[in-house]
């Protein structure tokens, strides 16, 4: 990739500021865990796997700043940092998965010095990033066969390199097919209200010379009816044990439309996005974000003052509308 989504560089966490894309390619430098927490909450970094990587790095940088000589004091302070980071965004399970993984590293190194544990945590966070990129490439390779030469593929939100350590999940599948020399054309949903499709998916696909056409969300049904969409591939923020999948608001609508038009609907996600602690999608905590995201566009008010507003950031697609889930371990179909 010609850009890095996130890295642990020197004693900082450096990430491309996604709120500034596509007009400015600038990097935010986080010097402590609170800055990483703010970057996740304010969506400078977003997308389930990327949130996981950021959380791991947030724990690592937080640990590095702890002043403590004994294990118990260190652990108590680290738990507070983990708690702080876990309050940033509720829906993507990768956040909690990454924090748990970092806490397990602390436990596994119980007998070691605080200095050694800090080092182990930084190394682990770098491993989370590296693994995520490899996982995305496997998802891409596993999913590539689902796409045919000449396909028009619709995607929603941004499940690309920007939403992961690199390469992407849904866009990983598209990249995988593209690298097999299949001619794939992507329709990118704009993705109101945060515009991840318009600002991020269009930007990263154009950088890779993958043909992309931008549409607003309400155009998708029309294109499906006209026979212009062959497949739909999206990412996920949390997948319940029964295969119900939470993803960016608007995904559910697409899945129902896909069923009506007999278009295969694929979800691409790493195994870390599965939450086996919940049975169905009804148990997924759906983040409600600031209403200003709906009433304002780039700081300009577009709705009347005091209008009542809802802003759920995700919805749940029932498993019955999902043709298959593409993971790094293979393609899951209904039992």
Nearer to ligand MRU by C-beta: 205 or 236?
236
Instruction: Report the candidate in 249, 314, 246, 252 with the shortest Cα–Cα distance to residue 281.
Output: 246
Nearest to ligand MRU of 120, 159 (CB atom): 159
The residues near 285 (Cβ < 8 Å, ≥ 6 apart) are: 90, 91
Query: Please, are residues 174 and 210 in contact by the beta-carbon 8 Å criterion?
Result: yes
List Cα–Cα distances, 302 to 21, 39, 190, 195, 290, in angstroms: 21, 26, 17, 15, 15
Asked if 105 interacts with ligand MRU (CB under 6 A), we say no
Q: Which of 15, 60, 121, 163 binds ligand MRU (CB under 6 A)?
A: 163
Which of 125, 196, 201, 295 touches ligand MRU by CB under 6 A? 196
Q: How far is the CB of 107 from ligand MRU (least distance, A)?
A: 28
Per CB under 6 A, contacts with ligand MRU among 225-284 are: 235-237, 247-248
State which of residues 109, 164, 255, 319 lies at the interface with ligand MRU (CB under 6 A): 164
d(CA 300, CA 310): 18
C-beta of 47: minimal distance to ligand MRU in Å? 4
Task: From 274, 314, 309, select the one nearest 295 (Cα to Cα).
Answer: 309
CB of 159 to ligand MRU, least distance (A): 4
Residues 142-161 that bind ligand MRU (CB under 6 A): 157, 159
Q: How many residues does the chain have?
A: 335
How near is the Cβ of 150 to ligand MRU at its closest, in Å? Answer: 25
Size of the site for ligand MRU (CB under 6 A): 17
Q: Contact between 49 and ligand MRU (CB under 6 A)? A: yes
Which CB, 63 or 153, lies closer to ligand MRU? Answer: 153
- Report in angstroms how near the CB of residue 315 gets to ligand MRU at its nearest: 10
Bridge partners of 188, per DSSP, are 155, 214
| Smallest distance from ligand MRU to CB 180, Å | 21
At its nearest, how many Å lie between ligand MRU and the CB of residue 147? Answer: 17
Nearer to ligand MRU, 163 or 202 (CB): 163
b/e code 255-266 from CB counts within 10 Å (16+ = b): bebbeeeebbbb
Among residues 13, 15, 30, 47, the one that binds ligand MRU under rule CB under 6 A: 47
Q: Does 205 bind ligand MRU (CB under 6 A)?
A: no
- Catalytic positions: 237
User: Using N-to-C axis directions, what is the helix angle for 114-144 and 71-86, rounded to 10°?
Assistant: 40
Asked if 212 contacts 204 with a C-beta cutoff of 8 angstroms, the reply is no
Region of 43-51, 59-67, 210-218, 304-312 interacting with ligand MRU (CB under 6 A): 43-51
* d(C-alpha 100, C-alpha 146), whole Å: 33
46 lies in the site for ligand MRU, by CB under 6 A: yes
* Distance separating alpha carbons of residues 318 and 315, to the nearest angstrom: 10
Binding mask 166-185 vs ligand MRU (x if CB under 6 A, - otherwise)? ---x----------------
- Interacting residues with ligand MRU between 54 and 93 (CB under 6 A): 92
Q: Which of residues 295-324 bind ligand MRU (CB under 6 A)?
A: 313
- Where along the sequence are the contacts to ligand MRU (CB under 6 A)? 46-49, 92, 157, 159, 163-164, 169, 196, 235-237, 247-248, 313
């Amino acid at each position: 990739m010609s850009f890095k989504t996130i890295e642990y560089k020197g004693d900082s966490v450096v990430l491309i500021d996604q709120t500034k894309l596509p007009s400015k390619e600038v990097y935010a430098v986080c010097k402590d865990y609170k800055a990483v927490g703010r970057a996740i909450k304010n969506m400078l970094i977003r997308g389930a796997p990327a949130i996981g990587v950021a959380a791991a790095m947030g724990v690592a940088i937080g640990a590095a700043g702890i002043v403590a000589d004994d294990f118990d004091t260190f652990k108590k302070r680290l738990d507070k940092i983990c708690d702080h980071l876990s309050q940033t965004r509720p829906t993507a399970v990768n956040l909690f998965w990454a924090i748990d993984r970092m806490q397990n590293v602390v436990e596994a190194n119980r007998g070691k010095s605080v200095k050694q544990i800090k080092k182990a945590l930084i190394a682990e966070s770098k491993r989370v990033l590296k693994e995520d990129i490899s996982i995305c490439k496997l998802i891409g390779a596993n999913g590539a066969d689902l796409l045919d030469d000449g396909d028009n593929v619709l995607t929603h939100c941004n499940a690309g390199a920007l939403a992961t350590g690199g390469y992407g999940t849904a866009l990983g599948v598209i990249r995988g097919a593209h690298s097999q020399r299949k001619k794939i054309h992507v329709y990118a949903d704009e993705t109101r209200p945060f515009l991840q499709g318009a600002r991020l998916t269009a930007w990263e696909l154009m950088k890779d010379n993958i043909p992309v056409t931008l549409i607003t969300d309400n155009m998708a049904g029309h294109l499906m009816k006209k026979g212009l969409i062959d497949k739909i591939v999206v990412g996920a923020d949390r997948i319940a044990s029964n295969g119900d999948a939470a993803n960016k608001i608007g995904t559910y609508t697409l899945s129902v439309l896909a069923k009506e038009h007999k278009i295969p609907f694929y979800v691409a996600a790493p195994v870390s996005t599965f939450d086996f602690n919940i049975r169905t999608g009804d148990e997924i905590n759906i983040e409600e974000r600031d209403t200003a995201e709906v009433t304002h566009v780039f700081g300009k008010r577009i709705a009347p003052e005091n209008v009542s507003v809802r802003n759920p950031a995700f919805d749940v697609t029932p498993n019955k509308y999902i043709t298959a889930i593409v993971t790094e371990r293979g393609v899951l179909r209904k039992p």
